[in-house]
Structure 1
Amino acid sequence: MKKVLFSLMTVLLILMIAGCGAGDTEEENNEEAAEENTKDQTITFGVTPWTSTVPPTKIARLIVEDMGYEVEEISADVSSIYVGLSRGDISAYMDSWMPVHETYLNKYEENVEKTAKSYGPTESGVVVPEYMEDVEKVSDLKGKEEMLDHTFYGLEKGGSNAEVIDDFIEEYDLDLEQLNSSEGGMLAEARRHMTDEEPVVFYGWRPHTMFNKMDIKVLEDEKKVKEDSSVYVMTNKELKESAPDVYEFLSNWSIEIDDLEEMMMKIEDEGQDPEEVAREWVDNNQDKVNEMINGEE
C-alpha cells in the first residue's frame, strides 16, 4: 500500500511540474505574441523642413527599424506636427526647440510629452556678417535700418521662430520688416548680400552648417528677448504603452551638436545620402545606441 501511495504521489508531482512548465511556456508565448503585436504598428516621425531635423530623425528611424518596427516619416511645418502628435497620427518628433515651441506643448500637453533632451543649450538669434564690425549687439542695428533696406530675413510665416524675430524688431524698436521664406530662401538672400559684402541681417542658430560656410556672428541680446534654447524629443503620450521599447529608446536619446553638424555637412555639402550618413553614425556609436535602447550607462 505504501508503495502504491508513493507511486501515486510521484505521478502527481510529475504532473504538477509538467503543468507549471506548460504554464510558464504558455505565459512566455503570450508575452512574445504581445510583443510581436506591438510591432505590427507603424512608428511615425514628424519631419520639419530644417536641416537639423534630418540626421536625428534618420538615426532614430534606423534604430527603430532594427527593433522590428515599420517606420514612416511625415513632412510638415512644426505647428502641423504638434497637431499630429496630439492626435496620435505622429508618434515622435526629434527636433523641438524649447522654449520657442512651448506654446505648442502648452496647447497640446494632455496628449504630447517632452520625452528627452537631445542637446543644448544652443547658440541662436540675430545674425550678421563679421565684416559689419560696428554691430556687436542687437541695439547696434538701430539707425542702420536704411542700409539694411529695412529688411530682416526670416523663416516661414506662422512658425515660432518668425514670432521671435517679430519680438526682436518690436523690443528694439527697429524699423525693419521681416521677409519670410524657407530656410534655404533665407540663407540664399544672406549669401547674395555677403558676396558683395553688403549689410544684411537674418536669423541663425546652431546646430547649422551656416556657421561653417559663412563668416557670421550672433549679436548680443541685451534685452534677453530670446532665451537660450535646448532641443527635445516629443512623443504622443500613448507611445509609452503602445510601443514601450520605442518609448524607452527615445526617453534615453541624446546626441552631440558637433556630431550633428558633421552629418549635416556630409549631407548638404558632400551630397551624401542621409540614410547612409545616419547608418555610419549608428555603426560607429554602437555603445551609445545600446545605452539608449537598454537604458544603461
Structure 2
Amino acid sequence: MMKTPAVMIAALLSTTAPVLAQDMPGTGTSINLAQPSWDTSWFHTEIYKQLFEELGYTVNGPQTLDNPPFYQAVAYGDVDLWLDGWFPLHDTYRPIFEGSAEVVGAVAPGGAMEGYLVDKAAADEFGITTLDDFKRPEVREAFDRNGDGKADMVACPPGWGCELSIAKHIDAYDLGDDINLINAGYAASMADAIAAQGAGEHILFYTWTPNWTVNELVPGEDVVWIQVPDREVETDLPAAEPTAGVTGCVADPCRLGYPGNDISAVVNSAFLDANPAVRALLEVSEIPVADIFEQNAAMNAGDDDIEAQAAAWIEANRDTVDGWIETAVNAQN
C-alpha cells in the first residue's frame, strides 16, 4: 500500500518532529492541470497528478485540450500546466506563450520520435524507401483506398502540431497530387488501417513514439519507417539530421524528417514563481519512454484504468519517486 504523503515526507526529511499535513508544500493550493487530446500521454500526466497530490496540492482535472487552446490558456493562467510540450515540434506555439509561461524539465528527454511508415509487404514489393515513391502511379494505386487516385495516409487531426508539420512536408516535397491526408480522429483511423493491413491491404501512416501503433504494427516485421526525400526544400520545420539506429527503417541512418523531441512540461510562469516545489519536481523527474510505451500497449489492449496504472508505476519506483519528492519539499522550504 502506498504511504500517506505526510508519513512519507516525514520519513524523507528524517526530522525528529512529525511533518504535519499543513507543512506540505502544496497545502491550500490548487493546480489546474491540462492534458492533450492524444491519449498516449495520459499515463504520464496521471503519474504527475498523483505526485502533485503527494506534495499536498489539490489537482483539478486534467482538462483535455488541443494544442492551440492549451497554449493560449496557460499563457493567460486559465490552466497552470501540462506535461506534453513537444519541442522543437511545438516551437510554433512559442509566440503564444513565451513571456507568460515556460518550458520546464523533460518528462521524456529525446524520447519522442516521429515519421512515416508503410506495410513491409508493400515496401518489399514496390521498393518504397521515401515519400517520393508515391509519385509513381503503381504505388499511388496500391495505397488508394478510397478511389480518388491518391495514396491515403493516416495523418493527424486538426489542432495537433503534427497536422501542420505533415502538411508542410506534403507541400514542400510537392506531394499534394499524390497523397491524400486523412485528418480524422487518429485512434479510429489507425484502427481502420491496422484492420486493412490485417486483410492484406497496403497502408501508409504517420506515427510517433511512444505510441501503441508500433506495438500493433512492429517496425521491421509488419511495417517499416520510410524516409523523406534526400533533396533540399524550403520549409520552416525544425532541421532534422538523419537518425542512427532506428529499428525497422529502410536505411541507417534514417531521414525521418523530424528531429527527436523532448516531451516537457509547459507551466504558467506566475504559478511557477509561487510554487518552487512544482518547478523542482519537474526539473528532477522523468518517465522512461519504455514504461510509457508499455502502458500505451496495455491501454490499447483494453486496460484503460490509467489511475491504477500510474499508482502502480509510482509504487514500483518508490525509491526514485521519494528522492523527487524530497527535492521538491526542500525547494519550497
What TM-score, normalized by structure 2, do the two folds share?
A: 0.74
- Hey, what's the Cα distance between the residues in 2 that align with 1:235 and 1:293? 19
User: Which aligned pairs between 1:182-221 and structure 2 lie closer than 5 A?
Assistant: 182-214=185-217, 215-221=222-228
Q: Does 1:131 align with 2:113?
A: no
- Hey, what's the Cα distance between the residues in 1 that align with 2:94 and 2:213? 28
Taking a change above 3 Å as real, the CA distance of residues 211 and 236 of structure 1, as seen in their structure-2 partners, is same
> Which runs of no fewer than 5 residues in structure 2 stay unpaired?
1-19, 145-149, 231-239, 241-256, 329-333
Q: Does 1:173 align with 2:180?
A: no
Contact 2:113 2:258 in 1 (8 A): no
Q: Alignment RMSD, CA only?
A: 2.2
Contact 2:33 2:82 in 1 (8 A): yes
Contact 2:27 2:56 in 1 (8 A): yes
Choose from 292, 298, 309 the match for 1:266: 298
Superposed CA deviations along residues 81-118 of structure 1, whole A, max 9, x for unmatched, are: 11111111211111111111111123210111110112
- Hey, what's the Cα distance between the residues in 1 that align with 2:40 and 2:324? 20
Alignment correspondent of 2:93: 104
Give the CA deviation at 1:38. Answer: 5.5
Superposed CA deviations along residues 155-210 of structure 1, whole A, max 9, x for unmatched, are: 11132201111122122222212121122122123113212221221111110111
Alignment correspondent of 2:55: 67
Q: Does 1:145 align with 2:140?
A: yes
User: Which aligned pairs between 1:20-39 and structure 2 lie closer than 5 A?
Assistant: 39=27
- Hey, what's the Cα distance between the residues in 2 that align with 1:203 and 1:86? 30
Alignment correspondent of 1:44: 32
Q: Tell me the secondary structure at the aligned position of residue 238 of structure 1.
A: helix
Alignment correspondent of 2:157: 156
Q: Tell me the secondary structure at the aligned position of residue 140 of structure 2.
A: coil
Choose from 116, 125, 142 the match for 2:105: 116
Alignment correspondent of 1:20: none
Taking a change above 3 Å as real, the CA distance of residues 37 and 278 of structure 1, as seen in their structure-2 partners, is closer
- Hey, what's the Cα distance between the residues in 1 that align with 2:132 and 2:324? 43
- Hey, what's the Cα distance between the residues in 2 that align with 1:295 and 1:36? 13
Q: Percent identity?
A: 23
> Which runs of no fewer than 5 residues in structure 1 stay unpaired?
1-31
Choose from 62, 66, 71 the match for 1:77: 66
Task: Work out which of the two has the higher radius of gyration on C-alpha atoms and give 1 or 2.
Answer: 1
Give the CA deviation at 1:272. Answer: 4.4
- Hey, what's the Cα distance between the residues in 2 that align with 1:48 and 1:124? 17
Give the CA deviation at 1:35. Answer: 6.0
Superposed CA deviations along residues 264-290 of structure 1, whole A, max 9, x for unmatched, are: 223331424100000000001112212
**Counterpart AA for 1:164:** S
**Counterpart AA for 2:119:** P
- Hey, what's the Cα distance between the residues in 2 that align with 1:146 and 1:75? 38
Contact 2:212 2:296 in 1 (8 A): yes
Contact 1:137 1:222 in 2 (8 A): yes
**Counterpart AA for 1:266:** A
Taking a change above 3 Å as real, the CA distance of residues 159 and 130 of structure 1, as seen in their structure-2 partners, is same
Contact 2:111 2:210 in 1 (8 A): no
- Hey, what's the Cα distance between the residues in 2 that align with 1:35 and 1:102? 38
Give the CA deviation at 1:78. Answer: 1.4
Contact 1:137 1:221 in 2 (8 A): yes
The count of corresponding residues between Structure 1 and Structure 2 is: 265
Higher helix share: 1
Q: Tell me the secondary structure at the aligned position of residue 226 of structure 1.
A: coil
Taking a change above 3 Å as real, the CA distance of residues 271 and 36 of structure 1, as seen in their structure-2 partners, is closer
